[in-house]
Chain A
Amino acid sequence: MFALNTKLKRRTLPGFRLSLGYTILYLSLIVLIPLSMLFIKASTLSFAQFWDIVSAPRTMAAYRLSFGTALISASINAVFGFLVAWVLARYSFPGKRIIDALVDFPFALPTAVAGIALTSIYSPNGWVGQYLAQIGIKAAYTPLGIVIALTFIGLPFVVRTIEPVLQDLDPEIEEAAACLGANRWLTFSKVIFPILLPSLLTGFTLSFARAVGEYGSVIFIAGNMPGKTEIAPLLIITKLEQYDYQGAAAIAVVMLLVSLLILIATNFLQWISAKRIGMS
């Protein structure tokens, strides 16, 4: 998506240096300096201390939970967000505008409110939770509950990145495929899907990044049992509350690095698939 803007070869408006300088300054103040403080804080630990903190069973469990549930929920969103975007972009039906507005709801709603609402619905005596309990599924206070909350939070990212691309998709290419003898499945899998793949990956990445860092909605539904349903951001807060700033920074640094690696990997995939369709 952003790659589109980098190919401006001729500029009519002046001010490249000024705007670049501003961008670097702004990013430094808002992003780079706070993040580097994190590394500086963590570097006051010796490596052995650092390793002890991040490899403790409780920390490892929190990492696994945070990244695992974030990956699962981003994958769920990739599939179902795709469907929602498809419906919104392709069909018109009464109430479409309302549904369209609903998609943005997780963006606007305070996450704590979302967490409380989801907990009350999915808790064993809640609207949905009581039926789930009857078939032996416990949603709230389990990793499943965390996945539900993260899926809720991440949905608009996938929908809003795919929808414009779907809307721009020329219906003629589908007709061309049909004229060449392709059935619907082949038309979708060989013609439409490869064109949507870069934006689907972008949506997945955004949804995943949001889920990894999510705190507000999860802590209500998770139950927060150390080693079982305690997410990494909560562990960081716990350390902070105990004035263990170094420990918190150490855990945060690892989260940051893992997130960075995953983002680089998905961006690379996105770049490859976008290159093929002439977008980068």
Chain B
Amino acid sequence: MSIEVKNLTKIFGNFKAIDNINLKVETGELVALLGPSGSGKTTLLRIIAGLETADEGNILFSGEDARERKTKDRNVGFVFQHYALFRHMTVFDNIAFGLRVKPKKIRPSEDHIGRRVRELLKLVQLEWVEKRYPWQLSGGQRQRIALARALAVEPKVLLLDEPFGSLDAQVRKELRQWLRRFHDDLHITSLFVTHDQEEALEVADKIVVMNSGKIEQIGTPEEVYHKPASVFVLNFLGNVNLFHSRTEAATISSKAAKLYVRPHQLGVSRLPVDGNSVKVVLTFINPAGSSVKMDAKSSDGNVFQVEISQEEYKALKLIKNDEVFLTPKNITYSEYEI
């Protein structure tokens, strides 16, 4: 099922949580809503689920107006940040809940429910916790049970609100990859909210970057990372260094420009390379990791973040407080002041 959001606006008091948003999620896509807190991403998700009502605009499910449909009739699976499991029910009863509350006419038999629950437990790789209560499980396990519960009713859309937000780093990473594989198997239209760019870049087919109620950019992870549509997207998706420069661009000669360069796009050398090279002092070196991360400071007080390969680092024999030159090799984004 595809989801289409048309001219959606939501106002809380005098705060515009969502400001005239348009968005289309195709059937089977895994889309990330990425943005800082307060950017309206969770509100958008909740409006799609019917947990909030929009002030203006419309939501279409497969082209059909969903405004009049109540949450319980929307057939969406919703996974909450804090799991929202029913603590007085066993894991089995939690997962079976959605099937047991169906109207008598279409309710499956207890036998069928049992089979379905075990199937889902197998899917989330937690067969052995069937009889436990949610409070006896770890955070990662609870979130997988919450996912199984949401999937029990065979939703057409899966909505995940910061699903890994309250888990520790290791579990987050595992579940992230697991969600990716899981989506590849099921191909259910999924929309997940996150404020973690790494998570969005790693998991999603498409990223929607949001800021103060508006969409800044929609694109593949590659597009939003390498071709950001705005300074906000650029900043939000990774570290970036700012160069003030006289540019020799072909069309506009000698205009002041701001060049935004990612840490790995900076070249380090002992001697200046071109007119854009900046003399800096290395203030911090962290060689632990697949690349070497360094902080540098220029004489006019600008701070730069640099990332070079281990080989380069060894070849240059860099140590702390060395004086070197930084030169942008590529530019991710530039702004011209006219």
User: A residues touching B (Cβ–Cβ < 8 Å)?
Assistant: 170, 172-173, 175-183, 186, 190-191, 194-195, 276-278
**Min distance, Cβ B47 to any Cβ of chain A, angstroms:** 13
* Set B72, B85, B135: member contacting A178, Cβ < 8 A: B72
Give the docked Cα–Cα distance between A176 and B89 (Å).
Answer: 14
- 0/1 interface trace, chain B 77-118, chain A, CB 8 Å (1 if under): 110101011111000000001100110000000000000000
**Min distance, Cβ A31 to any Cβ of chain B, angstroms:** 34
Residues of B in contact with A, size category: 20 to 34
Could you name 25 residue pairs across A and B whose Cβ atoms are closer than 8 Å?
A172-B84, A173-B85, A175-B49, A176-B85, A176-B86, A176-B146, A176-B149, A177-B101, A178-B70, A179-B77, A180-B72, A180-B101, A180-B150, A180-B152, A180-B153, A181-B98, A181-B101, A181-B102, A190-B97, A190-B101, A194-B88, A195-B88, A277-B87, A278-B133, A278-B134
Q: Are B153 and A277 in contact (CB under 8 A)?
A: no
Summed over the interface, the residue pairs from A and B with CB atoms below 8 Å come to a total of 75
Interface of A is mostly: helix
Q: Inside 8 A of B87's CB, which chain A residues have their CB?
A: 195, 277-278
**Min distance, Cβ B158 to any Cβ of chain A, angstroms:** 11
17 additional A-B pairs beyond A176-B78, A190-B97, A194-B88, beta carbons within 8 Å, are A172-B80, A173-B85, A175-B49, A175-B71, A175-B80, A176-B80, A176-B86, A177-B101, A179-B71, A179-B72, A179-B74, A179-B77, A180-B97, A180-B98, A181-B72, A278-B133, A278-B135
B271 contacts the other chain (CB 8 A): no
User: B residues touching A (Cβ–Cβ < 8 Å)?
Assistant: 49-51, 70-78, 80, 82, 84-88, 97-98, 101-102, 133-136, 146, 149-150, 152-153
Q: Are B88 and A180 in contact (CB under 8 A)?
A: no
Give the docked Cα–Cα distance between A225 and B264 (Å).
Answer: 95
Give the docked Cα–Cα distance between A186 and B51 (Å).
Answer: 17
Q: Inside 8 A of B149's CB, which chain A residues have their CB?
A: 176, 180
Q: Are A183 and B84 in contact (CB under 8 A)?
A: no
Give the docked Cα–Cα distance between A177 and B152 (Å).
Answer: 13
Q: Are A183 and B80 in contact (CB under 8 A)?
A: no
